[in-house]
């Protein structure tokens, strides 16, 4: 079994796709850029550690490849490109810029068009012929009729540069002559988790709430009347939007990606019900009122005139005006056909209230939470064996939880690990599964290999036989490093 090369794995949808896919036994290699504070692996580790805190239970870790979407070859080293060629047979391209209008860096075209071209170039050079592409339902542009999954470019007008760039990217993927299979996912407006309200991104749906919240905080207001603000944007309140919870989008996508018979199709990931802008505004009003209930507002704040507030709101929201226009009707026949058991939860007032309150209570993601470092860096411990000559026998090792990962152990006949490679074996091989907590206990001699196997703290998955004695030997060799 080979891996899926995955771009956009650290965004909100990426986080859920990693969780759901890897729980289901899918293998991922995630392309991630480093930032000012963390390298690529640290970013993924910190994100998944937070996911474990919310969801409970240790999660598998993907292979992490440090790179940059907008650089030729995705900025991958020659070694990483070679690894992709040998270990990946498909791509899930989820990374994108959500900027609506062209900025000084050339976004959104730089990421959405040039970035997609770079991903396609890598696919061609490494022999990958299966491509899962995350587009958007809003490739429809300013259409107001029924938008079918089979349609893309019907000479529609666009509301912003983002929509235009996503059409160009999708056309490029569809026309790539070297791809055997192209599956396209077109989600509507992705919001938070349907059950908890959790989100890690606060653009789009959350923007008017954020603007209203800042205005309320600065002006000492505990109540914000949204009706005049809607009129300031030229809306009458009857406009309706397609909001979809991220957990449902991920569930449907993960279901499709595990079933090859459902590939080579286009999926509109849209809700059964649209929500009016008036209802959304009322939810935001109620959320701000509840959030500020009992809180002391600024005593020295001078409440500006409504005209000034309207102008302030109009200025802050101008870039999102096209975003809040009335949505067309989207056909989603393909989704109904392949995932009838996964109906989209109704996006109702209680769900939207959960999401609005989560955003307010989390400070819209600020201040940033500190990085969650692993108690033991297993990657560093195994790195001492990388690059050495390989042995013939391969054993897969998957350690779930903090600091974990997936490796291929090359095993010598003298019961020692000769070298270690990234990712699980692509060919049938014995597999050892444990979590990082068990690994630490073995390392600290608080548990021995025999007890770990006997208690089920270490599981042996077998495509190829692995004796109990061999399993003991592997565990002892690992903890002796």
pLDDT at 371: 81
pLDDT at 221: 58
Mean pLDDT across 16-25: 96
Secondary structure in 3-state letters for 255-308? HHHCCHHHCCCEEEECCCCCEEHHHHHHHHHHHHHHHHCCCCCCCCCCCCCHHH
Q: Per residue in 311-363, pLDDT tens?
A: 767 776 777 777 788 999 999 999 999 999 999 999 999 999 999 999 999 99
Q: Per residue in 30-40, pLDDT tens?
A: 999 999 889 99
For 137-203, the DSSP string reads GGGGTT--SEEPTT---SS---SSHHHHHHHHHHHHHHT-TT-SEEEEEEE-EEES-TTT---S--S
Q: Per residue in 426-441, pLDDT tens?
A: 998 999 999 999 999 9
Name the band, by pLDDT with cuts 50, 70 and 90, for residue 468: confident
DSSP 401: S
Mean pLDDT across 215-243: 73
Percent of the chain exceeding pLDDT 90 equals 66
Mean pLDDT across 231-249: 87
Q: Per residue in 288-323, pLDDT tens?
A: 888 887 665 555 555 556 566 667 677 767 777 777
Tokens coding 89 = 């047979």
> Measured between alpha carbons, how far apart are the two ends of the chain, in Å?
28
Nearest-angstrom CA–CA distance, 70 and 179: 21
Nearest-angstrom CA–CA distance, 344 and 354: 17
| Residue 118 burial (10 A CB sphere; 0-12, 13-18, 19+) | buried
Stated pTM of the model: 0.94
Nearest-angstrom CA–CA distance, 354 and 287: 9
Name the band, by pLDDT with cuts 50, 70 and 90, for residue 209: confident
Nearest-angstrom CA–CA distance, 14 and 270: 18
In order of start, what are the domains of the chain with their CATH numbers?
A: 3-203+240-275+328-344 (3.40.50.720), 378-479 (3.30.1050.10)
């Amino acid at each position: 079994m080979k891996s899926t090369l995955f771009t956009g794995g650290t965004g909100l949808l990426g986080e859920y796709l990693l969780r759901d896919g890897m729980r289901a036994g899918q293998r991922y290699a995630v392309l991630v850029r480093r930032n000012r504070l963390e390298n690529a692996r640290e970013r993924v580790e910190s994100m998944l550690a937070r996911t474990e805190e919310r969801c409970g239970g240790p999660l598998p870790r993907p292979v992490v490849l440090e790179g940059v979407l907008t650089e030729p070859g995705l900025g991958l080293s020659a070694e990483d490109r070679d690894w992709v060629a040998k270990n990946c047979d498909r791509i899930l391209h989820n990374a994108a810029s959500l900027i609506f209008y062209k900025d000084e860096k050339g976004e959104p075209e730089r990421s959405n068009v040039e970035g997609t071209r770079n991903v396609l170039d890598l696919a061609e050079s490494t022999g990958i012929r299966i491509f899962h592409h995350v587009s958007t339902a809003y490739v429809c542009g300013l259409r107001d009729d029924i938008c079918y999954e089979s349609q893309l470019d019907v000479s529609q007008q666009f509301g912003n540069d983002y929509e235009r760039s996503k059409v160009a990217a999708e056309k490029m993927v569809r026309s790539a002559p070297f791809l055997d299979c192209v599956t396209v996912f077109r989600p509507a407006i992705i919001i938070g988790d349907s059950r908890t309200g959790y989100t890690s991104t606060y653009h789009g749906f959350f923007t008017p709430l954020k603007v209203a919240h800042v205005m309320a905080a600065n002006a000492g207001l505990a109540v914000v009347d949204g009706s005049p603000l809607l009129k300031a944007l030229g809306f009458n309140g009857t406009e309706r939007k397609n909001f979809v919870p991220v957990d449902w989008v991920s569930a449907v996508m993960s279901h499709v990606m595990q079933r090859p018979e459902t590939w080579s199709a286009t999926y509109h990931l849209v809700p059964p019900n649209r929500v009016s802008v008036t209802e959304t505004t009322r939810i935001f009003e109620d959320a701000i009122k509840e959030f500020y209930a009992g809180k002391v507002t600024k005593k020295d704040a001078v409440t500006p005139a409504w005209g000034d507030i309207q102008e302030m709101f109009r200025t802050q929201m101008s870039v999102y005006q096209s975003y809040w226009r009335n949505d067309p009707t989207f056909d989603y026949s393909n989704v109904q056909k392949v995932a009838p058991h996964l109906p989209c939860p109704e996006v109702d007032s209680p769900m939207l209230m959960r999401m609005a309150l989560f955003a307010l209570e989390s400070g819209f993601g600020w201040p940033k939470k500190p990085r969650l470092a692993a108690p033991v860096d297993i990657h560093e411990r195994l790195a001492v064996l990388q690059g050495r000559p390989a042995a013939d026998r391969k054993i897969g090792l998957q350690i779930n939880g903090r600091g974990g990962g997936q490796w291929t152990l090359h095993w010598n006949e003298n019961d020692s690990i000769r070298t270690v490679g990234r990712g699980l074996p692509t060919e049938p091989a014995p597999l050892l599964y444990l979590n990082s907590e068990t690994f630490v206990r073995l390392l600290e001699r608080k548990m021995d290999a025999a007890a770990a196997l006997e208690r089920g703290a270490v599981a042996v998955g077998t495509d190829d036989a692995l004796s109990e004695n061999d399993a003991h030997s592997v565990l002892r060799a690992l903890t002796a490093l």
